[in-house]
Amino acid sequence: MNELISTRANPMIDPSFHIWGWEVPVYLFLGGMVAGMMIISGYFLYRGRHHEATCACLQLPIISILLLTLGMGALFLDLEHKKYVWRMYTTFQPGSPMSWGTWILLLVYPALIANMLLAPPPWLVRPVPVLARWQAAVRSRPNILRTIAVANMGLGIALGTYTGILLSAFGARPLWNSAALGLLFLVSGLSSAAAFVHMVAQNRWERETLAKADNGFLSLELLILALFLIGLVTSTRVHIASAQLLLSGAFAPAFWVFVVGMGIVLPLFIQSLAVTHRIRHTPVAPLFVIAGGLLLRFVIVNAGQASHWTRLVR
């Protein structure tokens, strides 16, 4: 990507700009995908599908815990002052998206663990037999089940939205300075999660339902992307210039070919044929959706880092 960027040819680009590492985009992608999994799992649980042994809501929590931990590890690697990260948990700043995210992440783990313990894996039950009694007690109490379901859906929405708001709070980067970014990352995370569950779900009804739902998520993602760009090009000169990074500038090839084309339009076309039974369901479209969701974060993070105020206001 470095070869595509020239600060001489692109006066809108900050001359101090450098391509960010993989850590932040991977963290945002895994956080958004886990958020989507929590919403899907919570919805299935709320619908009472936990009685089905093959329900994805019984397998998703442990996968979510592993993916979120990997994402947190990636973020930790990006931190400059790693040994002081614990101080984030000694205070709460209502005006700081990072502070909100820190506490949301702290609440997400108990919600995921509570969901996981509805069907704890055998390797965990053997050394801790009390988990079997917990499982039986919780499954017999509908109010507790609904609480776990609502907690997962609510925290999933909060986590997915936070991954976008974390960037939009940086007013110094005009490309990120959009209220649509939180909703875009939330819907993109839902789409990636639906695509993943569509591939791994054992229940046929769930696979077909999530394929249809993902078509809706992809269509909504296209709409939000359009509104995001319209909001930029109808704003100030510096926002218009930052939008050109995606529309026709250095990041346009990656954005239009890989994010929009491969990550949204193509899988939407394939899955539309699949849900109408014109072709067989294949993992091709879900894999494209997941790859597109990851590339969306890489493009938005790096294009936002490239956009700047000072080069345009002088």
**Among 71-75, 283-287, 291-295, where is mean pLDDT lowest?**
71-75
- Tens digits of residue pLDDT in 227-279: 999 999 999 899 999 999 999 999 999 999 999 999 999 999 999 999 998 98
pTM: 0.88
- CA 63 centroid distance within chain: 15
- The pLDDT of residue 187 is 97
- The pLDDT of residue 52 is 87
Nearest alpha carbon to residue 33 among 192, 217, 263: 192
Range of the domain at 56: 2-313
Give me the torsion for CA of 297, 299, 302, 305, rounded to 10°. Answer: -90
Number of independent structural domains in the chain: 1
- The pLDDT of residue 296 is 97
- The three state secondary structure string of 153-195 is HHHHHHHHHHHHHHHHCCCCCCCCCCCHHHHHHHHHHHHHHHH
Cα 254 from Cα 107, distance rounded (Å) = 35
> What residues contact 236, with CB distance under 8 A and at least 6 apart?
174
pLDDT surpassing 50 at residue 17: no
Cα 157 from Cα 145, distance rounded (Å) = 19
- The pLDDT of residue 300 is 96
Identify the CATH number of the domain in which residue 124 sits: 1.20.1630.10
Q: With contact defined as beta carbons under 8 Å apart, do 205 and 152 qualify?
A: no
Positive or negative, the CA dihedral 208, 214, 215, 216 is positive
- Tens digits of residue pLDDT in 174-198: 999 898 999 999 999 999 999 999 9
- The pLDDT of residue 311 is 55
Banded pLDDT at 15 (limits 50, 70, 90): very low
